[in-house]
Amino acid sequence: MSMYRIGLGFQGIGKPLQGSEVTARGLHGVLYHVLKMGDSSGASWLHHHESPKPYNLVPYYAGQNGILAGIRVSALTERSADLMLHSWEKARQLGYELRLGQQSFYVNEIACIPGTTFEMLSTCPPEPVVGLRFLSPTSFKQGPGHMPLPVPGNVFSWPFRVWNAYAPAKLRIPTDWLDWCRDDVFIIEHDIETAAVTVSRKEPPFTGFVGDVWFEAQSKALLYLSLFQGLANLTAYSGVGHKTTMGMGAVERIDKQRG
């Protein structure tokens, strides 16, 4: 079972979509609006799906003025990918006029790229170092507040949950892997900064961190190191941390020759 990357290009009506006027909840809302128009029962299934949901999204901005060019949806299951593609393709073909706040647009481009599988992720070479680039504000729920720092146990807890929710039973990760991560994985280098985005006009900004972080495992346990690499690769599809279905916690792997 493959995961998928679905790119959706937006075209503003009358003028480009100003990113400064777009909210995270607005993006979440327009996604479900399109899903309801395309497949109301499928939209209801996804909306009521228990956490972790089988998708996340991240907005794409272009140019120095922060024009919203579209969104990328990562689908973790065939069903969620089919739902996204069917609904957005219908919106494109029929030329639906969509809205983000006071701005109108239509979807003018759709691309779908098959990605990795849990079988592939489970066979990653057992290397001790992982580099991740956090593309959108990332933070982790902690009691009544949030922790906007890349603590290893927090970073890998979300892909760990996603893996064990969607991987075949024979590939599920041992329950003590997170304890191993908390005890044996350390930050060895980082270049991060604080960033905030608007969730809605009625809520305080969501504050997290963005930038590059390098992690290293001190343990020599080959199975757990292989899973460490597999989970790092999964983050590009699962996201990391809180509000991944609203554009937070978008991640990609990075490679770097450390000197």
Q: What is the pLDDT of residues 55-109, one digit of tens each?
A: 999 999 998 779 999 999 999 999 999 999 999 999 999 999 999 999 999 999 9
Q: What is the enclosing helix (H) or strand (E) of 182?
A: helix 177-184
Does the pLDDT value for residue 259 go beyond 50?
A: no
State mean pLDDT over 123-133: 97
Does the pLDDT value for residue 257 go beyond 70?
A: no
Write down the pLDDT at residue 142.
85
Omega into 126 within 30° of 0, i.e. cis?
Answer: no
Q: What is the pTM of this model?
A: 0.94
Write down the pLDDT at residue 258.
52
Give the relative orientation of helices 152-166 and 177-184 as an angle to the nearest 10 degrees. 160
User: Rounded distance, CA 68 to CA 108, Å?
Assistant: 13
**Mind listing the domains of the chain with CATH numbers?**
2-117 (3.30.70.1890), 122-253 (3.30.70.1900)
